[in-house]
């Protein structure tokens, strides 16, 4: 989590409540408060307590090298830390104090140590000794003295200044993984090769909804290379829209216009982070945490967030609710083989069944398999490995998908879909999506149906405020998907504004009502 606003005084309790409630509703149980921001108000921590969220609290040092060799600086840092630990120690939500964000890895991996040593080796040693004193000893002592038993960690990423330190250590401590999105900009499937003990930072970017973009850019200003759009691109380390377009084109092809670009960027972000998060969960007990960058936004624009500045859920937040669900199935395809794992985060065993269907895009069933099982508490278990040839059995890979589902308590609780080529190479048909919206008590019920397979369906009500129980989902041929809609708008205006997108119909289309 980053600050709620670029101007802290402008952030409201309602804004904080909305974001933290969204985290809880998306089955998240830990939020990391990033060290490049500021300490939040007491009211924020009260909300985290109320929602049952664990907080990983960074001390406010982030992404650079501090003059910890200076005793006066260290004394000031210690006093600030002591004040905040005392202030926040009554909150059960605070479960970890972390010395800093990326200062250790900045020293060893970003060239600071090398360049400073070349300039003045004695001074460089003083800088590092000061770092170890402040983050290895002083802040650790403050937390031990004042923190009521909450543990301390020296940096993120780090192995807590253990043997062979230097930042990222895949076998000890926590890891930040930016070979996807950052350099060398590997495709999201590379996440399947990154299996640390705790993944505390990884991410992909996207644009927010057009409604949010409309707040800062007129329609004529909305283009991939327009000045206003470039000014709202957060990837300052590089050409953000070019990097984002690389990821969109790699999997989905070239967008026809900026609206398609914004939509496809959210699809790419959601599907990529889902791949990584499910891999982390399926790798339990080796990997025991998955915190993606980032939850919220400090202003409206393109960023790595899953909730935009106005609290609107992007596709990733809807996906997160599914891939962080207590019971989940992970079907992860790499090098023409799909590994299937069943995940149970409950503390009790669960009677369950997993179900495989291979379908063509018209809904024809090509293969089916179902197996009963018992999920052990707090576990992840691999239950199958399927080659493409085994799943397809001669079917056209461009017109076929495999659907893996996990059922428990008499209902499907998780679904994972597998495709056999990049989305841009698949033989999509117009899914002929239909939607029916009707009033139901104080809200509305929306029923979706598709004649042909519809992937990455996005439901939109234009300029009207409306919250959906689900979005950014797939609809199988012949399947009826029922969603709940909350809105102060009337039925007729909602019906008039309702529009749908999918990968086969990336432009917004008005549907039957």
The predicted-structure confidence for 70-121, as pLDDT tens digits, reads as follows 999 999 999 999 999 999 999 999 999 999 999 999 999 999 999 999 999 9
Token pair of 143 as six digits: 């937390």
- Report the pLDDT value the prediction gives residue 92, as an integer from 0 to 100: 98
* 75, 77, 121, 384 from 71: Cα distances, Å: 6, 10, 20, 58
Alpha helices of 132-239 — where are they, by DSSP H? 139-146, 210-213, 227-231
Q: What is the CATH number of domain 327-425?
A: 2.60.40.10
- Report the pLDDT value the prediction gives residue 239, as an integer from 0 to 100: 87
Give the domain 177-314 fold: TIM Barrel (3.20.20)
Return the CATH architecture of domain 434-510: Sandwich (2.60)
The Cα–Cα gap between 59 and 97 comes to 7
The Cα–Cα gap between 244 and 235 comes to 9
Token pair of 372 as six digits: 């009963």
Mean pLDDT by 10 residues, the chain (513 residues): 95 97 98 96 97 98 93 98 98 98 94 95 97 98 98 97 80 96 96 98 97 96 94 84 96 95 98 98 98 97 97 98 98 98 98 98 97 98 98 98 97 98 96 95 96 97 95 97 97 96 80 59
Distance in Å from the first CA to the final CA of the chain: 39
Burial of 324 (0-12, 13-18, 19+ CB in 10 A): buried
Say what angle helices 13-25 and 42-51 make with each other, to 10 degrees.
Answer: 30
- DSSP E strand boundaries for 299-394: 327-334, 337-344, 350-360, 365-375, 379-387
Q: What is the pLDDT of residues 356-376, one digit of tens each?
A: 999 999 999 999 999 999 999
- Report the pLDDT value the prediction gives residue 167, as an integer from 0 to 100: 73
Alpha helices of 26-111 — where are they, by DSSP H? 42-51, 71-88, 103-109
Q: Where are the domains of the chain?
A: 1-169, 177-314, 327-425, 434-510
The Cα–Cα gap between 277 and 289 comes to 9
DSSP label of 40: P
Domains 1-169 and 177-314 share a fold: yes
Alpha helices of 132-257 — where are they, by DSSP H? 139-146, 210-213, 227-231, 240-252
- Report the pLDDT value the prediction gives residue 236, as an integer from 0 to 100: 72
- Report the pLDDT value the prediction gives residue 163, as an integer from 0 to 100: 80
Give the domain 1-169 fold: TIM Barrel (3.20.20)
Give the residue from 60, 71, 70 showing the smallest Cα distance to 102.
Answer: 60
The Cα–Cα gap between 303 and 234 comes to 6
Residue 118 neighbours by CB under 8 Å, 6+ apart = none
The answer to whether the CB of 99 falls within 8 A of the CB of 61 is yes
- Report the pLDDT value the prediction gives residue 136, as an integer from 0 to 100: 97
Residue 50 neighbours by CB under 8 Å, 6+ apart = none
Establish whether the linkage from the previous residue to 157 is cis, with ω within 30° of 0. yes
The Cα–Cα gap between 226 and 209 comes to 17
- Report the pLDDT value the prediction gives residue 168, as an integer from 0 to 100: 81
């Amino acid at each position: 989590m980053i600050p709620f606003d670029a101007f802290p005084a402008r952030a409201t309790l309602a804004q904080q409540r909305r974001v933290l409630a969204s985290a809880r509703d998306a089955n998240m149980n830990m939020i990391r408060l990033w060290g490049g921001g500021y300490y939040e108000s007491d009211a924020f921590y009260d909300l985290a307590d109320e929602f049952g969220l664990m907080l990983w609290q960074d001390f406010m040092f982030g992404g650079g090298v501090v003059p910890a060799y200076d005793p006066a600086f260290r004394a000031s840092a210690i006093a600030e830390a002591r004040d905040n630990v005392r202030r926040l120690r009554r909150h059960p939500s605070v479960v970890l104090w972390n010395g800093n964000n990326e200062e250790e890895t900045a020293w060893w991996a970003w060239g600071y140590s090398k360049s400073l040593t070349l300039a003045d080796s004695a001074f460089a040693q003083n800088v590092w000794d000061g770092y170890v004193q402040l983050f290895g000893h002083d802040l650790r002592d403050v937390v031990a003295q004042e923190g009521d038993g909450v543990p301390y960690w020296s940096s993120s990423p780090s192995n807590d200044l253990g043997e062979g330190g230097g930042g990222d250590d895949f076998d000890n401590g926590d890891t930040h993984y930016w070979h996807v999105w950052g350099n060398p900009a590997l495709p999201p499937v590379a996440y399947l090769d990154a299996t640390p003990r705790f993944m505390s930072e990884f991410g992909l970017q996207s644009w927010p909804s057009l409604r949010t973009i409309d707040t800062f850019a007129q329609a004529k200003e909305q283009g991939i290379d327009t000045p206003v759009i470039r000014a709202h691109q957060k990837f300052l380390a590089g050409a953000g829209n070019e990097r984002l377009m690389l990821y969109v084109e790699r999997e989905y092809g070239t967008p026809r216009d900026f609206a398609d670009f914004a939509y496809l960027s959210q699809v790419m972000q959601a599907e990529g982070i889902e791949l990584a998060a499910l891999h982390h969960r399926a790798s339990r007990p080796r990997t025991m945490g998955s915190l993606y960058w980032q939850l919220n936004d400090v202003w409206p624009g393109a960023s790595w967030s899953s909730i935009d500045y106005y609290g609107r859920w992007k596709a990733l937040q809807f996906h997160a609710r599914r891939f962080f669900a207590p019971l989940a199935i992970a079907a992860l395809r790499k090098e023409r083989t799909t590994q299937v794992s069943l995940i149970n985060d409950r503390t009790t065993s669960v009677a369950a069944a997993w179900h495989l269907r291979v379908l063509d895009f018209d809904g024809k069933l090509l293969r089916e398999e179902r197996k009963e099982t018992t999920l052990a508490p707090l576990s992840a278990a691999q239950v199958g490995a399927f080659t493409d040839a085994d799943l397809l059995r001669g079917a056209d890979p461009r017109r076929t998908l495999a659907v893996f589902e996990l059922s428990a308590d008499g209902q499907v609780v998780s679904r994972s879909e597998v495709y056999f080529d990049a989305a841009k190479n698949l033989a999509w048909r117009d899914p002929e999506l239909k939607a029916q919206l009707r009033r139901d008590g104080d809200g509305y019920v929306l029923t979706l149906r598709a004649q042909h397979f519809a992937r990455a369906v996005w439901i939109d009500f234009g300029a009207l405020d409306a919250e959906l129980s689900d979005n950014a989902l797939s609809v199988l041929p012949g399947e009826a998907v029922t969603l709940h809609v909350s809105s102060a708008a009337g039925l007729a205006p909602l019906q008039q504004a309702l529009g749908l997108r999918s990968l086969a119909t990336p432009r917004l289309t008005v549907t039957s009502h």
